[in-house]
Amino acid sequence: MELYQHFRKEEHQFIDQVLEWKETVGRQYAPKLTDFLDPREQQIVQSVVGSDGDVRVSFFGGAPFVERKRALLYPPYFEADEGEYDIALFAVRYPGKFVSLEHRDVLGALMSLGLRRGKFGDILVMGGEIQFFTAAEVADYVRLHLGAIGKAPVSLEQLPLSAAIPLEDAWQEETATVSSLRLDAVLAQAFRLARERAKALIESGLVKVNWKVVDKPDFLCGPGDVLSARGFGRCKLFSVEGMTKKERWRVRLGRQK
């Protein structure tokens, strides 16, 4: 199928899922709400659904600035509003004077509840304030079972979506050259690492591309890819701008501030 040629092999299974959603909406003439999707998955859904007049798609994750969003596929007659996305926002109350919690602590505690990652949206951490979005259908379960994060006792307070911490995504951009578009080369340049160090991180399963673990140093990066390395943060390959006279790739990279 020609559609698959535009995507990486490991994305084909998800494309099949999107095609199934699209076919179901078209056949039943009723809307379909997905779990939370990462930005790459949102791109795939948008590409697969396209501008098909019979099925439309829109995205919402609880606030305008979030990364993870639920997709709503719907027929033309349907009018989508934010209430259709069934999203709950929780504030985490904990003894902040005695405990310091980070994003990974919160994510680890949520994952220990036995729910899929797709049931949770963005986790917002600013200063001592922590919030997270969840699918409304599991909100009661989460409230009942999340009593601790690490060793810290916590309680949850549900808030209106309008009370979300207003985080802003910021990238510090630069133009650089890399010997190749291999993951280890791009990662090494972005985080100022020795190539062997970058390779070791990748092979240890500590690196993600578009929110999926990639453990192959020779994985080829492309424009729009978001890379993350545990302990180093995130970077984005904004564009590939051609070869230099010394046969190196000129790229535009961004590191998250």
Task: Kindly tell me if the per-residue pLDDT of 9 is higher than 80.
Answer: yes
Domain boundary among 111, 138, 163: 163
Q: State the pLDDT at residue 169.
A: 61
The reply to whether 75 and 97 lie within a common domain is no
Q: Are 250 and 177 in contact (CB under 8 A)?
A: yes
pLDDT in tens, 86-103: 999 999 999 878 888 888
The reply to whether 6 and 25 lie within a common domain is yes
Q: State the pLDDT at residue 65.
A: 87
The reply to whether 71 and 147 lie within a common domain is no
Q: State the pLDDT at residue 96.
A: 78
Give the domain range for residue 99: 87-163
CATH code of the domain containing 7: 3.30.1370.160
The reply to whether 78 and 91 lie within a common domain is no
CATH code of the domain containing 97: 3.30.70.330
The reply to whether 190 and 236 lie within a common domain is yes
Q: State the pLDDT at residue 131.
A: 96
The reply to whether 57 and 121 lie within a common domain is no
> What percent of the chain has a predicted confidence (pLDDT) above 70?
97
Q: How confident is the model at residue 5 (pLDDT cuts 50, 70, 90)?
A: confident
- Report the C-alpha gap between 105 and 66 in whole angstroms: 19
Contacts of 154 (CB under 8 A, 6+ apart): 92, 93, 94, 146, 147, 148
CATH code of the domain containing 200: 3.10.290.10
Domain boundary among 82, 112, 138: 82
Q: State the pLDDT at residue 79.
A: 86
Domain count, the chain: 3
- Lowest-confidence segment of 52-56, 72-76, 209-213 by average pLDDT: 52-56
DSSP symbol at 225: -
The reply to whether 131 and 193 lie within a common domain is no
- Report the C-alpha gap between 70 and 161 in whole angstroms: 14
Q: State the pLDDT at residue 195.
A: 95
- Report the C-alpha gap between 58 and 71 in whole angstroms: 6
Domain boundary among 115, 139, 163: 163
Radius of gyration of the chain, Cα coordinates, nearest whole angstrom:
20
The reply to whether 7 and 77 lie within a common domain is yes
Q: How confident is the model at residue 51 (pLDDT cuts 50, 70, 90)?
A: low
Task: Kindly tell me if the per-residue pLDDT of 257 is higher than 80.
Answer: no
pTM of the model: 0.78
The reply to whether 99 and 153 lie within a common domain is yes
> What percent of the chain has a predicted confidence (pLDDT) above 90?
68
Q: State the pLDDT at residue 100.
A: 86
DSSP symbol at 116: -
The reply to whether 77 and 93 lie within a common domain is no
Both structure tokens of 186: 């791009």
The reply to whether 100 and 77 lie within a common domain is no
Average of per-residue pLDDT across 33-47: 93
> 3-state SS of the chain: helix, strand, coil percent to 5?
30, 35, 35
Task: Kindly tell me if the per-residue pLDDT of 6 is higher than 80.
Answer: no
Q: State the pLDDT at residue 1.
A: 58
List the Cα angle 131/63/213 in 5-degree steps: 70
pLDDT in tens, 100-141: 888 889 999 999 999 999 999 999 988 889 999 999 999 999
pLDDT in tens, 134-176: 999 999 999 999 999 988 999 999 999 999 998 766 678 899 9
E strand or H helix that includes residue 256: strand 249-256
The reply to whether 6 and 71 lie within a common domain is yes
CB atoms within 10 A of CB 220: 13
Mean pLDDT of the chain: 91
Q: How confident is the model at residue 191 (pLDDT cuts 50, 70, 90)?
A: very high
